[in-house]
A = this chain, B = another copy of it.
Amino acid sequence: MTTPAPVRSVLARYAELTRDAMAPYLAAGEPACYLYDLVRDYPARPGKGIRPALLLATCQAVGGTLRAGLPVAVAVELLHNAFLVHDDIEDGSEARRGAPTLHRQLGTPLAVNVGDAMNALSMRLFRQNVERVGPERALRIFDEVDHMLRESLEGQALELGWTKDNRCDLDLDDYLRLVLKKTAWYSFIHPMRIGAIVAGADGVDLNRFDAFGFLLGAAFQIQDDLLNLDGDAASYGKEIGGDLWEGKRTLPLLYALATAPANERVTLAEFAGRRRERRLPRQVLDIHRILRASGGFERTREIAHALAAAAQERMDTAFAGAQEGPDLQFVRTLVGYVIDREV
């Protein structure tokens, strides 16, 4: 089954609209070569654009306009890019959207500062919402962003801590708790909630998006783990097996840690506890083989499909009362996309 073409084209269109609308806020300034040129780097790289698309589609599906949603989508997407710069440093990632990560190009010191500047710039855009959507809605959006930041930073802390302490006793519940924090709130639930606030749909119960967004986000993240371990480098845009190099607690790894033969579990735990620079290419291949033999990839894929099916069931509740049309249709087909995508 391939991804339906319309999902990709809607994603591409909203991503382009958001990128164009963001451009004026990323204007040149001094110091250019140490700061403002670098602020433009990640936003200029082609990403999937799921967050702005979900925000803009939700906004319009519940009665808002593209024009109202776009500046807010820009702020959310810029905040996302700020996060990526710091996440790449924290994870020691090598590649992002098909090119070396910012800290690999510039060193960590300048990259930390660039991420902070992008974050500050996105806060300025959220501040400017006051003039656009009025103080009441702007403050509600700010509270959504506050919660989004809190959950994401807690999720990132958990993941980094588990890697640092080489936690090998984690189960599916731990994993889903992590995914809710690090992915679902930030990339799925809050974009929908914020989209509905911008639309001014005061009769919409925002909490209705939460279960749908969690299930969708979990399916998305699990597919991301699978692509990272088993995907095609050229289309994926990151380092294949990067999560192994980075010691991340992905679902296939947790499955193998729980079910593989004892000697292989020792190998996995020993590998997972090494510092990145002491992990060797041949070991990464070994670990990959153990994961495959454990059946963890298939089991993980089954879980992603079950989560996506559960999301599908929640879709109508989440968008009860929304207008039928291309935006609602886009969100509906997004459920299939998150588990079928190869990028």
Q: Identify the A interface with B (CB < 8 A).
A: 29-31, 33-35, 86, 89-92, 107-110, 112-114, 116-117, 119-120, 123-124, 127, 130, 135, 139, 142-143, 146, 149-150, 153-154, 156-158, 160-161, 164
- Residue ID in chain B nearest A143 by CB atoms: B127
Q: A108 to B89, Cβ gap below 8 A?
A: yes
On whether the beta carbons of B109 and A160 are closer than 8 Å, the reply is: yes
Q: Which one of A90, A154, A157, A164 has the highest number of Cβ atoms from chain B below 10 Å of its Cβ? A: A157
The answer to whether A153 touches B120, judged by C-beta atoms less than 8 angstroms apart, is: yes
Name the residue of chain B whose CB is nearest to the CB of A135: B135
- Chain B residues within 8 Å of A154, by CB: 29-31, 35
Q: 8 new A-B pairs (CB below 8 Å) besides A34-B160, A90-B108?
A: A35-B153, A35-B157, A86-B112, A108-B108, A109-B160, A113-B160, A123-B123, A123-B149
| Cross-chain contact B158 with A146 (CB below 8 angstroms) | no
Q: By the criterion CB–CB under 8 Å, are A161 and B30 in contact?
A: no
* B124 and A109 contacting across the interface, CB-CB below 8 Å: no
Count chain B CB atoms within 10 A of each CB in A89, A113, A146, A164 and give the residue with the most: A113
> In the complex, what residues of B have CB within 8 A of residue A110's CB?
90, 157, 160-161, 164
Q: Separation in Å of the A245 CB from the closest CB of chain B? A: 14
What are 27 A-to-B residue pairs whose CB atoms are below 8 Å? A31-B154, A31-B161, A35-B154, A35-B157, A35-B161, A86-B112, A86-B113, A86-B116, A89-B112, A90-B109, A91-B109, A108-B108, A109-B160, A109-B164, A110-B160, A110-B161, A113-B156, A113-B160, A117-B150, A117-B157, A120-B146, A120-B149, A120-B150, A124-B146, A127-B143, A135-B135, A135-B139
